[in-house]
Structure 1
Amino acid sequence: MTTTENVRSEEKFVPIQTRSERPSSFEPADFETPTGREVNWKHSDLKRLAPLLVDEATENIGHDGIRYGVEAIDAAGVLVESTGHEAAVRGEVFTPEDLPAAIAWKQCSNALHIQIPEGKSIGEPLVARLEGLGADIHANAHIIVEALPGSQSTVVLHHTGSAAYAQNVEIIVRDGARLNFISVQDWEDDTVHASAHQARVDSDAYLKHMVVSFGGGAVRVNPSVRLHGTGSETEMYGLAFADSGQHMESQVFMFHEGENTTGNVLYKGALQGKGARYVWIGDVLIGEGANGTDSYEKNQNLVLTDGTRADSIPNLEIKNGNIEGAGHASATGRFDDEQLFYLRSRGIPEDEARRLVVVGFLMEIVQKIGIDEIETRIEALIQEELAAGASLAPAAKAGA
């Protein structure tokens, strides 16, 4: 190849930097296998996620790859049959934006569809327990959570066991509905999990979206919320605790499309042990017609030991200057020395003081769940992670 041909070859690859410009398709063939150069893959653990990049017939909802136990949902009468790719509602909001999501769409013919009846308020959390039955099984799923107008409910996806699992979650919050959605990743350490959440919030509707990740070898949960209707509102919260060798990742997208929409994003991460890594990328787009937008996003990471890495990348794209406000913030660091000094001056031993600082840092997110059982379980997971840590000595560096 000549020098001119080399230059032309290099010019063919132009990375897509703007979140709103990324391509989407239901066909896996329309996506090239990621190389790690792409902006949405360059921070990911592609080596471990590789099984989810293969388009082949795999296990499906209701088969051996993932065992689905749905608590409280049957009794509430909210399960809706969703057979085939052309089933009602499926695809109304969701369009795959990367290869694992397109493969999951293609290979999963039947969806789990949870529908909250119009005007109904369900006080009891609707918990779908998803248990992986083997890390050597490539399982795919499409899950629909639909809150009909005026309804109020909480839906929880609780993941356990081992799996190689690609998952699409489609969330629709119709006019005037209020939905709390929580996804808990409590996997075994041999699990790889790539999940794409896409949500639309209609007029005067509210969505609280939460991602809590503790277990798994490589866990990539990317939520996207489209504030479509006038007066729509979302709160997006995330919590991740990465141990030695674990890779936790969330690429968050909040799109203000309608007028007078409100959005708030707060994600926190904690890292301990050699090779622990947490990736957070937050993109906010304020559309041309989004007058009166009020938007804010923040990511905070606490580095507990040396040998970890935290990547925190906030982005803000504004196409309308007639807004109430927009901003973002990011911080990654070790323990607050002043907090430790205060606690130790009150007679609290150093190890206990460090534990209290970490728990206090993370519990700000946990307490926003609003469900005692789940909050208690997650607090216990935090304590377990800290107890399992080899050391809680302050890191010399805050990470990259």
Structure 2
Amino acid sequence: MNFQYYLPVNLIFGRGQISQVGIQTAKYGRKALIVTGRNSTKKSGLLDKTAALLKAAGVEAVIFDEVAQNPLTDTAYRGAAIAAENGCDVVVGLGGGSMMDAAKAIAFLSENSGDISDYIFGRNVSDRALPIVLVPTTCGTGSEGNGFAVLTNPETHDKKSLRCSAIVAKASIIDPELMTTMPKSVLASVGFDALCHNMEAYLSLIGQPMTDMMALEGIRLSGSYLKRVYDDSADLEAWESITWASTLGGMTINTAGVTAPHGLEHPASGLRDIVHGRGLAALTPVIIEESIKGAPEKFAVISRLLGGRDENDCALKVRELLAALDLTTTLGAQGIREEDVDWMAENCLKVSAAGIANHPVQFGLEDLKRIYRKAL
């Protein structure tokens, strides 16, 4: 049993911990670029509260609120330019996974020149970035617990992760109470994304004892509490559980990586800007059916954690959960067309080669096309 596990992130978890954001940020800088979206943190009052907490700790705040779902490389360049113009020395990511990923990319570009795609595809490397503090408001991507920043290049439609230990947050403030303002449709989508992170890490061929331990707990928590919080948004115990499942998912994929569901979804959302969790909902049951033969024992474990019997009803249990979350869908319903299939399959082997290689069944180009068509 030989393995290595390294993830230097400071997790500050619990109800009310948003109060720590000023104290933690002040450890790393005196002028923060707050990276957020256009609407939700403003409507909830969280943006104003964060700025006030920073000010109380002696940190000036500059707001960058241009981040949308499936963040673009162009957005990261604009954010880095604003950080430089204002002399920002720390970045605070405030919001869902897109905002946190954009914050990481902005922090990276603030310290590195050149085309970010060169770093994403490994043609260039760096271990420098501005210090980052993350405050998630959705329980899905787990970006607060890893060194990934998923970006889409608007020219090529390549959706792929920047991976660098320098973009692991100096502090991640994970307050389950901040999740409670999510609409149910968003909760369903991000909650399923978190479940997929944990399932994929557990199935990954490069998983190891630490990642298995975290992934299994993440699957258990999602299976036990995701529908419960979907049905009762006042259930704070359930919010805590699925929020922790999300963070566990982010941490475990940092080491074990993702597999085919994320590998096939990224070309779809990179091309058509679909909601990531809905793309996963369309693809994951189909991929499970195509994959059971590669790891029947592990699919049996996943099924039982979701209330099933063995590997043979694993896809069924996932479909039942999706139905309970009003998340049953197809790629066609998300705007993917038959004529997109060839491009997506080829792009999958370009941007998701590692995830496809990590999967317990090895899919070739024609296999990917078949799975995409089955999910239409």
Confirm or deny a common fold (TM above 0.5).
no
Instruction: Indicate the structure whose relative CO is greater, using CA pairs within 8 Å and at least 6 residues apart.
Output: 2
**TM-score, normalised via structure 1 length:** 0.29
User: Which structure carries more helix by proportion?
Assistant: 2
The alignment's TM-score, normalised by the length of structure 2, stands at 0.30
Computing the radius of gyration from Cα coordinates, the structure with the larger value is 1
Which structure features the higher share of strand residues? 1
